[in-house]
A and B are shown apart, each in its own frame.
Chain A
Amino acid sequence: MVNRIDADQVAPPVVRGMEAHDPGYYEQLRRRLRWQLLFAYCAPLGILALYFHVQYSVTLGDRIHNHLRSLAENQRNTADLFVQERVANLRNAFHPDTLNIPPGVEDMNRLLAELVRSNPAFVDLGVFDADGNLISYAGPYPSLRGRDYSAEGWYRQLLAGTRDYVVSDVYLGFRGKPHFIVAVRRNVSERAWVLRASLDPEKFGEFVGGSAILEGAQAYIVNSKGQSQTVSLERHPEFEVGPLPVRAGTTSIAEVGAAGKSYLRAIAWLTVNDWALVVQVPAAQAYAPLWRARAALVAIMVLTLVFILWVVVRSTRKLVGRIEKAHEAQRSLTIHLFNAAKLASVGEIAAGVAHEINNPLAIIYEEASLMVDILDPAFGQAPDMAEFRERLGAIQTASLRGRDITRKLLAFSRHDEPELGPVQLESVVERVLKVRELALSTSNVEVRKEFAHDLPEIVASANQLEQVLLNLLNNARDAIGRGGRITLRTRRENGWVQLDVEDTGQGMTPEVMNKVFFPFFTTKGVGKGTGLGLSISYGIIKSMGGRIEVQSRVGVGTTFTLFFPLPRSTPVSAAGGS
């Protein structure tokens, strides 16, 4: 059974430290943390603030409404009382015991003077007979005397009604000036007589609205059609109420717009007439405490937000700074680990490479010694310059061969900082094969190369990639033992450049496969493997944005597949072939 794993599933986090993060990553992390922290701090605060604000608004709004309602009802009672008092004034005055009926001019003047003394709203006074003729008058409009009022609404209402008094709406009447009247009816000697007093609506208005009820508030009287009875709508358009709703027992409160402003308006119905008392306050004034509270809340919230923002910015900067340092430290440790593992591999192959040098050295020694022998008369050889030249050439060739071997080792053992750049995968594979070709051939390992043509360059650190390939080749050779095959296959598939290192070795059990990427895990004998090769290789490939997959079958072999991302400029759709 072929077992297959992705190294990402089994590799422990410690070996992923090679991954380098660009500055954009930390900026993004900082931003994300900031938003998350801001949300975490501000959301409960905002919800709490909103909840209390709503609760407070409702409570305070209720209080403001109740206060206004109470004011309106008080004023309504006052207005009621005013009208009732005026009715009572007339009733008391219009009595046969105290007044001759019909009264004479002097009586009328005296009576008017008394009434005006009791309340300056009284303007004039008149007595009407049963036919509606004004027969006695005292006041500033004597021309009214003798007029017939029988067609007037208030007069007919008084005579036809069950009540003995009537209070009219404001109207102009015969005098052509706004006034309203209070009239009482009395029967004397089987005849109906009416005493009528007209009142100045402005004085009534001053009485109703003049009281210091609430700062900025206006109180006035309207009839059921919404016509003002106490103030001039021409001068005060904001007092325009419009037709009132059906008379209700309770006082209504509403927020209304008038003359481009918003007002809070309470309407309380009077009992003496079909009038309502309106108390109107500019909303800004009525709700001033609420808005003050709202402003305070907003100010506190803004201050708190600024403070939270400061704390969050400061703490995320510190936190991300520490994460960055920790990443850097981890990366540095992993690079050290990588270099240590590399040194270990260098140690492993150094012996082999050093031996490689012995062969050219032996050739040099033997060639030189032969020339010495030829020059030695004891051997009786005739020196031949052409032969000498040929042998010196062989010495030169062998020297260069030795130099190439040491160069390869030195290049491999360099402590390079991993630098990513465009790398030709095939050439890296060839370089590593050169280092290991003898070891592989003497172990009777056949190397088969199946390279795809026209593979794009990958972005990698060539030095680190050599390290990875060396690890994989060494593992493959160790798994094969004596005699077998390693296939190195490159291809381009599914948006990756892929390299298979396939061996015909002993294969791995699933248990071993799950552990191969753990540092210090090795199946080789003591002193033969550090157990770092694959974990380091995994870290390296991850740092290049790639991944590793392993397939293995016990007794058949193992394939490590390295995946390298295509460079960004490479079209993904193109397919590669061997």
Chain B
Amino acid sequence: MSQDRIRLLIVDDEVRFIETLSRRLGLRDFDVTAVTSGKEALKTAKQQHFDLAIVDLKMPEMSGEHLLGLLKEGDPRIEVVILTGHGSIDSAVNCTKLGAFCYLQKPCETDELLRVLKEAYRKRVEKRLEADAARMSEVARIAADHSPLAALRRLRELDKEGS
């Protein structure tokens, strides 16, 4: 699997829907993993990193909003797009507060979905770059301000934070 493909997690309880959507996005250079429940999604997210996630809201056992919070908690940089048939202003506001990148209603046109996913990915990349730049300047500052031993200790800490 190519490293430059966007790693995407799709969470929806409609099996037929995720199967089709996975295949279509797979054709468009997405590295798609599809699961049918929040629990499965969390388990998968622990095992591998994802750039983006498409999450349905109304699911048995765990709601999309709850999953969104947990995903963001596990990986603050992951961008989550909500794709639901049960859209409402209230839930949109709530999801935005929880850190959702975008809130889309089913059925969503392919172009629109792709545009949103690309923007989300760009945002994730930008965030990564910003984080890298901040790290570089921090490394430079540490190298200048600290003794070599202290500088090495601090850099190890930064690596841990960065990963």
Contacts and interface: CB of A to CB of B under 8 A. Distances in A.
Given A438-B58, A442-B58, A366 B85 contact: no
A381 interface: yes
A355 interface: yes
Interface in A343-379: 351-352, 355-359, 361-367, 369-370, 373, 379
A370 B84 CA distance: 19
Interface string B61-82: 1010000000000000000000
Contacts of A373: 24, 27
| Majority SS at the chain A contact face | helix
A366 B107 contact: yes
Nearest to A438: B58
Contacts of B24: 366, 369-370, 373
Contacts of A355: 58, 84-87
A441 interface: yes
Contacts of A441: 60
A444 interface: yes
A394 interface: yes
Given A373-B24, A381-B27, A391-B20, 16 more contacts: A352-B86, A355-B58, A355-B86, A358-B106, A359-B106, A361-B106, A363-B20, A365-B107, A365-B109, A366-B20, A367-B16, A369-B110, A370-B24, A441-B60, A442-B58, A442-B63
Nearest to B63: A442
Contacts of A351: 88
Nearest to B58: A442
A362 B106 contact: yes
A398 to B, nearest CB: 8
Nearest to A439: B58
Contacts of A379: 27
Interface of B: 14, 16-17, 20-21, 23-24, 27, 58-61, 63, 84-88, 105-110
Contacts of B105: 358
Given A373-B27, A442-B59, A359 B20 contact: no
A389 to B, nearest CB: 15
Contacts of A356: 85
Residue in B84, B87, B107, B108 whose Cβ sees the most chain A Cβ within 10 Å: B107
B27 A362 contact: no
Contacts of A361: 85, 106-107
B17 A362 contact: yes
Interface string A387-430: 00001001000100000000000000000000000000000000
Given A358-B105, A370-B23, A442-B59, A363 B110 contact: no
A193 B20 CA distance: 166
A406 to B, nearest CB: 14
A44 B43 CA distance: 93
Nearest to B106: A362
B86 A363 contact: no
